[in-house]
Structure 1
Amino acid sequence: MQRFNFFVIILGFISPCLCTRLNVGTENDNYNVMDYGANGDGKTDDSQALVNAWSSACKHGGTLTIPAEKSFMVTNVKFRGPCKPKIHIQFDGKIVAPPKEAWKSGDYLIYIDNLDGLTIDGNGKGGADGDGSTWWHCKNCKRPGLFHFHSCKNLKVSNIMVTNSPSGHVSVNQCNGATFSHISINSPPNSPNTDGFDISFSNNILVEDSNIKSGDDCIAINGDSSFINATGVTCGPGHGISVGSLGKVRPNDKVSDVHVRNCTFSGTSNGGRIKTKMDTDVVVSDVTFRGFTGTCSGDIAINLDCSSDGCHNILLDQNDITSTSGKKLLVICNNAYGTATNTIPSVTCLLN
């Protein structure tokens, strides 16, 4: 068991609608999925009812309501824009996926695309459950994720629960400006490839005051992403917060301006890490690890294992990591250039 209190990392590198609406609609209008034919019993396929309700909200502006104390079974629901401004989803109830054998098609349970200014808010109980246990045993299956945000701007998501995804829980792709706050993500530690957040080709993304338990990375930051911030995140179990893998698909992946502050890691295999593939052109530089305090149950506390091109301008400062068993912890440096100050265990292997 490892526990880290992590303060800063800086990385510079149609069934028909059952109701008729005659008004033009305003941002205060409410489009409750129950009014569009949803059953809310967790067993009947409510996909089309949600799509129909979204179509009305998108066209006229207003609030799509997923009511409390109801469960809506859906598969591959797509909420697409562009829409009228100030679209809101009030996520008080639960969306559930069918078991694997009843999954119809699609890569995600909910796909949200091409929206500007969308807000999603729950009551701390609303959200989605992916019934992942019916998928996890199938190693060669292409398992779906739960939420996918694509090409969105000025997105705000808060107070929702996302559990038991067959694959990743929340993915963010080609988005600019998004805040995720008070998000609870929960999957067992042995669930395969169940990243909490996957962020790629995106800018100005904030994950704050959230609790992430998964079988993989709590947050994975992938290629062509910049100004990514994680603040007040509790991570674990899981693999920690990771940049990469970089160079997996494209040899010249770029990630810059990543800041991780005031985060806690408990029972994770890593704290903060950068992952690159061998034989790529990915260069790692301008990395600061500051304010790590906690314990390590393994043998290696700090591992700076760089390619032959080296990692440059690495700074370790004010870190204090001790062994849970009291033994001496190891520090590994390969082709790593930088400085270490006020750090335990002592780092003497950095190159100048």
Structure 2
Amino acid sequence: MFSLKVLTAVAAAFAAVSALPTEIETPVGSGCVITNIDQVSSVTSSCTNIVVSSLTVPAGKTLKLQLKTGTTLTFKGKTVFEATQWQGDLMEISGDKITVTGESGHVLDGQGAKYWDGKGDKGVKKPKFIRIKATGGSVFKGLHVLNCPKQCVSLNSCDHVTLDNWTVDVSAGDKNNLGHNTDGFDISSSTNLIISNSVVKNQDDCVAINKAQHVTISNLKCSGGHGLSLSVGMSKTSVSDNTVTDVAFKDCTVTNSDNGIHIKTHSDGGAGVIKNVSYKNIHLSGIRKYGVNIEQDYENGKPTGTPKNNIPITGLTISGVTGTMTGSNSKAVYILCASGGCSGWTWGVSITGSHKDNYCKNQPSNVKC
């Protein structure tokens, strides 16, 4: 016979167990760790705390991480993308209110050296590396991106997203001048975006903005590429697709690069606008071609020397821009505006060491060339 005291204790224990929640999230380490591409669909559809651990992604496959609202995703160890000639994205991350981080020592390796041929987009087929489509205050922090085959990080249709403390390292592509079109961050169709405290080492634009509103880029360290860029006007169908407004670059450095600041509009596209863009406290060093290059004459991806006013540049602020040039053909400032195409600028540029005189045409009257 059990004593009354024992029976009472058993009953209390049973009641406590019965009171536990019936739905308990599966902890990381028990079904929410991705170590094989075949696990991706089931894990992302059932877990909100996910680890991608030492994953090898088969050639020709996209690591598509479509995350549930509020998910935390952590990369651990080396994520390697096997190589083949194709034009997909190696990885796509999407979701609302998500947090994506990397453990210390992790790396996302695109194995770019297996693609690089010195021709970039025009050579053998190469995939873009990472595409992000996120919303709702999503945060991507502390990621280490290595050796992109071509464009590294594409931000599309993002709203209220922060990227902080990234390292994008394609410096191995400098060898024999093989790496090309390795843009660091490409931004299109996005709003309320922050990129901060990050490093980009590459052979093309450190940042390139095509279509965006309310973007802040701060404390970015760029080297080896084409600088802090806007490239606007490639769409022939919609003014909104050719619009960049309320964008701020501040407290950034650009070193050992072709350009420091580059703004180009495409005269063979449709109408559009660049408005209220600022570059403040930007330090340049070892710039080979142009310190500040603003031109309204791109067609078929190249400058023509004949500017057009389909995309006016208004409310531009370039102030506290300092630094040095190098190279026998370097110019501190090159401005080629169409008649009436540029107005309402604020200007404060002090760049030394250029080997050729500045060139300016149709710039606002307060811009001293």
Alignment of 1:226-305 (within 5 A): 226-244=213-231, 246-250=232-236, 252=239, 253-280=242-269, 281-297=310-326, 298-305=329-336
Preserved contact between residue 65 and residue 89 of structure 1 (Cα < 8 Å): yes
Question: 1:52 deviation in Å?
Answer: 3.0
Specify the SS of the correspondent of 1:51: helix
Aligned positions of 1:330-345 closer than 5 A: 330-340=357-367
Q: Runs of 5+ in structure 1 lacking a partner?
A: 1-21, 39-45, 341-346
Counterparts in 2 of 1:100 and 1:279: CA distance versus 1, 3 Å: closer
Query: Post-superposition shift, 1:165?
Result: 1.1
Q: Judging changes above 3 Å, is the alpha-carbon distance between structure 1 residues 311 and 66 closer, same or farther for their aligned structure 2 residues?
A: same
What is the match of residue 23 of structure 2?
A: 24
Given that 1:248 and 1:277 are in contact with CA atoms closer than 8 Å, whether structure 2 keeps it comes out as yes
For residues 149-187 of structure 1, what are the alpha-carbon distances to aligned partners after superposition, in whole Å with 9 as ceiling and x for unaligned?
125332201111111111211111111011111100011
What is the 5 A alignment of 1:63-142? 63-67=49-53, 70-74=54-58, 75-81=61-67, 83=68, 85-100=69-84, 107-113=88-94, 115-137=95-117, 139-142=122-125
| Map of 1:192 onto structure 2 | 180
Instruction: Name the SS for the 2:235 alignment partner.
Output: coil
Q: Residues 33 and 51 of structure 2 are in contact (CA less than 8 Å); yes or no, is this contact kept in structure 1?
A: no
CA separation of 1:171/1:205 partners in 2, compared to 1, >3 Å: closer, same or farther?
same
8 Å CA contact 1:92–1:122 kept in 2: the answer is yes
- Report if the CA contact (8 A) 2:37-2:55 is conserved: no
TM-score by length of 1: 0.77
Distance 2:218 2:51 in 1: 29
Q: Higher helix proportion, which one?
A: 2
Deviation at 1:249, TM superposition (A): 2.4
2: CA distance, partners of 1:219 / 1:76? 24
Tell me if the contact between 1:33 and 1:66 (Cα under 8 Å) persists in the aligned partners. Answer: no
Once residues 161 and 105 of structure 2 are traced to their aligned partners in structure 1, the CA distance between those partners, rounded to angstroms, is 21
Q: Distance in 1 between the 2:24 and 2:336 partners?
A: 58
What are the ranges of 5 or more consecutive residues in structure 2 without an aligned counterpart? 1-20, 270-309
Residue 320 of structure 1 corresponds to: 350
Cα 1:307–1:30 change in 2 (3 A) is same
Larger Rg: 2
Question: CA contact under 8 A between 1:278 and 1:307: conserved in structure 2?
Answer: no
Change (3 A) 1:205 1:338: farther
Letter aligned with residue 185 of structure 1: V
Q: Which residue, 139, 152, 170 being the options, matches 1:156?
A: 139
SS in 2 for 1:336: coil
Q: Which runs of 4+ in 1 moved over 3 A?
A: 22-26, 31-36, 138-142
Distance 1:23 1:97 in 2: 39
Q: 1:215 to 1:25 in 2, by over 3 A?
A: farther
Partners of 1:35 and 1:277 in 2: CA distance: 46
State the one-letter code of the partner of 1:63: N
Deviation at 1:23, TM superposition (A): 6.8
> More deviation in 199-208 or 276-285?
276-285
What amino acid is aligned across from residue 330 of structure 1 in structure 2? D
Distance across 1 between alignment mates of 2:32 and 2:46? 13
If asked which structure has higher relative contact order (CA below 8 Å, sep 6+), I would say: 1
Contact 2:311–2:341 at 8 Å: present in 1 too? no
* Separation in structure 1 between the aligned mates of residue 223 and residue 102 of structure 2, nearest angstrom: 23
Distance 1:92 1:23 in 2: 31
Q: Is the 8 A contact 1:313 1:338 kept in 2?
A: no
Whether contact under 8 Å (1:231, 1:261) holds in the other structure is yes
8 Å Cα contact 2:56/2:82 also seen in 1:
no
Identity %: 27
How far is the alpha carbon of 1:330 from its aligned partner? 1.9
TM-score, scaled relative to structure 2: 0.73
Contact 2:78 2:109 in 1 (8 A): yes
- The one-character-per-residue Cα deviations of 1:278-307 (angstroms, maximum 9, x if unpaired) are 245211111111111110114310111112
Is the 1:314–1:338 Cα contact (8 Å) retained in structure 2? no
Q: Is the contact made by 1:151 and 1:176 (CA closer than 8 Å) also made in structure 2?
A: yes
Equivalent pairs counted in the alignment come to 294
How far residue 268 of structure 1 moved from its aligned partner, in angstroms, is 1.1
* Residue type of the alignment partner of 2:233: G
Asked if 1 retains the 8 angstrom alpha-carbon contact of 2:187 and 2:210, the reply is yes
